[in-house]
Amino acid sequence: MIYKTTGWAAVLLSLVAFYPSMQPGAFSVIGFYLCLFSLIIAAFASHMDKPIYFRSVITLSLVNILLVNDGTRASLWFGQSDWVYIGSMYGIFLVVVSICGFLVSRDLLISTLEGKVE
């Protein structure tokens, strides 16, 4: 029960992160870090339950970071000269996604080998 509640809280937090991401300045950074935090919560929720929470949060986070976020959206690659900021934000995102994805896939593999997944 706690994993389902935590998983839905991660999805809700990922949806809530859209609003500050649209704002200019520091609010877009807050939205970015809310996305990262929701990914970590979703990885925890997908630890024992099915990885649907992690998959939905990573999809929402990718849409948020690539299309919506004021500081990291993909259209800034060509128009903005602040490559260090954009590169560092994408680097942080890739590290968190890699670690969380590894944890979820490892737990999914272990539960598959034990016969718990349908």
Model pLDDT, residue 111: 65
Model pLDDT, residue 47: 75
C-alpha distances (whole Å) from 115 to each of 1, 6, 54, 118 are 21, 24, 21, 8
pLDDT in tens, 19-41: 999 988 889 999 999 999 999 99
Amino acid (1-letter code) at residue 97: V
Contact 77, 20 (CB under 8 A): no
C-alpha distances (whole Å) from 54 to each of 14, 21, 42, 99 are 11, 20, 5, 12
Q: Is 115 left (phi over 0), alpha (psi -120 to 50) or beta?
A: left
Spell out the domain ranges in the chain.
Answer: 2-114
Query: Taking the CB of residue 14, how many other CB atoms lie within 10 A of it?
Result: 25
C-alpha distances (whole Å) from 27 to each of 57, 74, 86, 101, 109 are 20, 18, 16, 26, 38
This prediction's pTM: 0.83
Model pLDDT, residue 112: 66
pLDDT in tens, 93-110: 999 999 998 888 876 666
Model pLDDT, residue 18: 94
